[in-house]
Homo-oligomer: A and B are copies of this chain.
Amino acid sequence: MEYPSKLYYSISEVAEITGVKAHVLRYWESEFPTLSPKKTRAGARRYRQKDIQEIEAIKSLLYNQGFKIAGARKQRREARKAEADQPAPAAPQLAMGFDRMDNAERLAHVRRELQEVLGLIQALRLAAPAVAKPKAKKAEG
């Protein structure tokens, strides 16, 4: 999903971007405490990218994974809590300082990370199987 990058989006822009109709967005807002965009003084919603991600997450729970609203709400609540405990993992660390290592070290490093990542994927796939599979390109050259 690609969309223009800016600070705030109106409800109709978000509807366009996410494919969720505006009135449904308002409805979800009444059902999901995790979705609460800022509002202008006049009351108009101002969505940020964070909110759009939240919407995508909810959408997936409801339409891909087949949760009812109550179940999806619970999932999101817990996901938020988990996020709070454990801030963004792995990715930033990954690049850091990489080109300063010597080759053997790099290899070992990458390898460890890859193992870890595979474990993560395992867990995710078990828990959330309804996902488009990436083509496994064989690195068997």
Residue with the greatest number of chain B CB neighbours at <10 A, chosen from A53, A94, A122, A128: A128
Q: A129-141 CB contact bits vs B (8 Å, 1 = yes)? A: 1111110110101
A31, chain B: closest CB distance, angstroms: 12
Q: Are B86 and A133 in contact (CB under 8 A)?
A: yes
Q: Are B79 and A71 in contact (CB under 8 A)?
A: no
Q: How long is the Cα–Cα vector from A115 to B92 in the complex, in angstroms? A: 10
Q: How long is the Cα–Cα vector from A132 to B85 in the complex, in angstroms? A: 13
A69, chain B: closest CB distance, angstroms: 8
Name A residues whose Cβ lies closer than 8 Å to a Cβ of B: 53, 56-57, 60-61, 64-76, 78-79, 82-83, 86, 88-91, 94, 98, 101-104, 106-134, 136-137, 139, 141
Given contact pairs A110-B111, A128-B131, enumerate 4 new A-B contacts (beta carbons under 8 Å): A94-B114, A113-B137, A120-B134, A121-B124
Partner of A74, one of B66, B90, B120, B123: B66
Partner of A115, one of B74, B75, B91, B119: B91
Task: Provide the residues of chain B in CB contact with A133, threshold 8 Å.
Answer: 82, 86, 120, 123
